[in-house]
Amino acid sequence: MHVLGIDIGGSSLKGAPVDLATGQLLAPRHRIPTPQLLSPQEMASRVREMAEHFQWKGAIGCGFPGAVREGVVSFLGNLDQSFVGVDVAQLFTEATRCPVSVINDADAAGLAEVRFGAGLGRHGSVLMLTFGTGVGSGLFLDGRLVPNTEFGHVPLHGGAAERWVAASVKDAENLSYSEWVGRLNEYLRLLTVLLNPNLIILGGGISADHADWFKLIDVPVEVVPARFLNEAGIVGSALAAER
């Protein structure tokens, strides 16, 4: 089965058709820039643009940067708050004229890693974290998703942790990898105390450069880079449509 996977982020949409049997992209990834404060209707237009780019007529899976329950947004941190209460699955379905499923974006990335990547065959609790505009989280217990966790919003230094440790913060504050990983270690130690995971998988755009900074991680739990790197959200979004 082939599904168009779309990963909606704070700064862009990224998408590609995905082979659900293998997790492989069937075409080069396409990116559409998105200003942070797009309205729901404007975002639906970008999703339609993505489908039109691939001349897509089948099922679509979308990863969305917020908590989504049965297609309806209940919480989000880095997009316009007018999305809260919107049935984005229905909105995107109407815009594309294709059946669209919507899932939290970090949950989607975790699905890809647990099915095909760094979390394959791992038992116990597996925590997926994505670092981009904010920090997303996906928690799995023996391969089963615990949906809509928001560990990027646990309190740290007087605010949400993602305001301290997101990849966008590293760029905005011009932090070196050593400085940023110092913050990352503090955050991971906090989550280790709260969750005691068996494995932590780190993804998002910054994971593409993991060779430059992974050696600096110092926490009492196994930590590995996402195997799909920044494509995990696309693959997992497509898998969500299967679910």
Residues 80 and 161 in one domain: no
End-to-end, the C-alpha distance of the chain in Å comes to 12
pLDDT at 236: 96
Q: Residue 169: which CATH number?
A: 3.30.420.40
Residues 136 and 54 in one domain: no
Range of the structural domain that residue 215 is part of: 122-228
Same domain, 18 and 77: yes
Residue 93 has pLDDT above 80, yes or no: yes
Note the pLDDT tens digit of each residue in 142-160: 999 999 999 999 999 999 9
Res. 200: pLDDT tops 80 = yes
For residues 49 and 33, is the Cβ–Cβ distance under 8 A? no
How do 199-203 and 159-160 pair as beta strands?
A: unpaired
Output the pLDDT for position 27.
97
Spell out the residues 6+ positions from residue 71 whose beta carbon is closer than 8 angstroms to its own. 87, 88, 89, 90, 101, 102
Model confidence band, residue 172 (pLDDT cutoffs 50, 70, 90): very high
The confidence score (pLDDT) of residue 230 equals 76
The count of structural domains within the chain is 2
Mean pLDDT of 171-188: 97
Whether pLDDT at 243 is above 80: no
Helix (H, G, I), strand (E, B) or coil at 186: helix
Single pTM value for the model: 0.91
On whether both 94 and 133 belong to a single domain, the answer is no
